[in-house]
């Protein structure tokens, strides 16, 4: 549950609590005579409860306002980041194009290798006794260990 949902729930709960307290006060006062000393005591206690609840509600509202402000700020940042992502995507596309151009230029500039002088039999033999990439990697690992 998010902090904001939690606060909203707590505000709702404090309202329910206030209604419950009012019900309890009304119940307590139902058998009390108007001049009874307990009346003032009961009313004072109910007033304190309501003051506490009001203070709690004010704190919750402040917290809610702060969270709302945080949320707005995060949303603003998200929008800025989305713009940045779009710009970076464009830049990436442009860089990829530039890279491909460089590769093409390099390909054009490099001299062509001399033709192969190999027979099909030699190729088939090489296929049979060729070195695998795992062996190449093993050589590199040995070099790394020796580093």
Partner 1 sequence: MAPSSGGAYRVVYSEAVRERLRQLGEKARQAGLIERYAEALRVIEERLANRPLEWGDPLYSFPQLKLLICRGLYWVFAVEYAVHEGQRVVFLREYRLLPRNPLEP
Q: Which residues bind partner 1 (CB under 8 A)?
A: 103, 106-107, 110, 112-113, 115-116, 118-120, 123, 126-128, 130-137, 139-141, 143-144, 146-147
**Cβ-based nearer residue to partner 1, 35 or 145:** 145
**Cβ-based nearer residue to partner 1, 88 or 103:** 103
Minimum gap (Å) between residue 137 Cβ and partner 1: 7
**Cβ-based nearer residue to partner 1, 31 or 130:** 130
Minimum gap (Å) between residue 79 Cβ and partner 1: 36
Concatenating the DSSP letter of every residue in 60-129 gives: HHHHHHHHHHHHHHHHHHHHHHHHHHHHHHHHHHHHHHHHHHHHHHHHHHSPPPPPP---HHHHHHHHHH
Alpha carbons 122 and 125: distance in angstroms, whole number = 5
Minimum gap (Å) between residue 98 Cβ and partner 1: 14
Helix (H) or strand (E) holding 10: helix 3-29
Minimum gap (Å) between residue 110 Cβ and partner 1: 6
Exposed (0-12), middle (13-18) or buried (19+): which is 11, by Cβ within 10 Å?
middle
């Amino acid at each position: 549950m998010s902090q904001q949902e939690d606060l909203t729930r707590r505000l709702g709960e404090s309202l329910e609590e206030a209604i419950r307290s009012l019900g309890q006060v009304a119940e307590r006062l139902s058998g009390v005579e108007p001049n009874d000393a307990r009346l003032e005591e009961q009313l004072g206690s109910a007033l304190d409860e309501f003051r506490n609840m009001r203070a709690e509600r004010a704190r919750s509202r402040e917290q809610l306002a702060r969270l709302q402000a945080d949320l707005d700020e995060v949303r603003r940042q998200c929008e800025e980041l989305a713009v940045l992502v779009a710009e970076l995507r464009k830049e990436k596309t442009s860089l990829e194009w530039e890279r491909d151009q460089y590769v093409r230029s390099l390909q054009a500039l490099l001299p062509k290798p001399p033709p192969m002088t190999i027979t099909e039999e030699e190729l088939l033999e090489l296929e049979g006794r060729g070195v695998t990439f795992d062996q190449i990697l093993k050589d590199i690992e040995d070099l790394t260990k020796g580093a």
